Amino acid sequence: MIANRRGPIAAPVAFSTALAAGRCPSPRDLRYTRPYPLCGVHYAVFTMMTDAQIDALATHLVQGLLARGSIKPKVAEKDLIACVVEMLSSNFETEAQIDDEADKMAEEQVRLDPRLDVTRLRGMIRRRIAEKKNFTL
């Protein structure tokens, strides 16, 4: 259990594993939506979606569009759902890659100048990387 200002919370396995390995946990090791002080740095951590959640979201989206008559599919509903799941998964994977790249760049800059606000710097780097990749966050 980890305690913060709002009370105790359970730590995910990846968080504990990172600490046991002697490295500072990164946002991908966590599944919280609140900022946490880690190794003297305040990260804003984004919630990752599980495969089951992505499947449920895709199913809900496709069935809702079909029920309203917004789309007239040329393929089976199952194939359409699989296509939406693939699109969502690749989108989340791209976002995770952008986050990792922004984390690395922000850490490098903080090592050079510890007075920098890491959270703000990471957000700015993240936006610039997304713009370069023509990716909407």
What percentage of the chain reaches a pLDDT higher than 70?
65
Buried b (16+ CB within 10 A) or exposed e, 87-105: ebeeeeeebeebbeebbeb
What is the pTM assigned to this prediction? 0.60
- What does the pLDDT average to over 97-108? 93
Q: What pLDDT was estimated at residue 51?
A: 87
Q: 5 phi and psi, to 5 degrees?
A: -60, -30
Q: What pLDDT was estimated at residue 50?
A: 86
